[in-house]
Amino acid sequence: MMGDMSETDLPIDCATCVASGTTACGDCVVAHLLANDDGPIEFVVAPVVSLTTPVDRAVSLLASAGLLDDPPTFVPADVFERAASVATVR
């Protein structure tokens, strides 16, 4: 079973690749993605935020996609349901 990738570094280095220098290099996704005629690529480490609940993760994803106000306004479920029932009666 694989471990949790969020807790493990995954180095990508052609110098340590077992297929380095073989015909497999031509089909390598990593080599294709890193190909750059302008010189070396600068890697920026992105922090991984561990959110505890599915609701927190959903809100974070929606906010990062620009689909929520900043800061988001949350309405209690009973107020939301009451407004929805009034809207369907009209």
User: How far is Cα 19 from Cα 9, in angstroms, rounded to an integer?
Assistant: 20
pTM assigned to the model? 0.34
* Ranges 3-12, 20-29, 47-56: which has the least confidence: 3-12
Please report, for the chain, the start and end positions of each structural domain, with discontinuous segments joined by +. 54-89
Query: Taking a C-beta distance cutoff of 8 angstroms, is the pair 59, 68 a contact?
Result: yes
| Confidence band for 3, pLDDT divided at 50, 70 and 90 | very low
Q: What is the 3-state secondary structure (H, E, C) of 5-52?
A: HHHCCCCCCHHHCCCCCCHHHHHCHHHHHHCCCCCCCCCCCCCCCCCC
Least confident of 1-15, 30-44, 66-80: 1-15
Average of pLDDT values for 67-78? 85
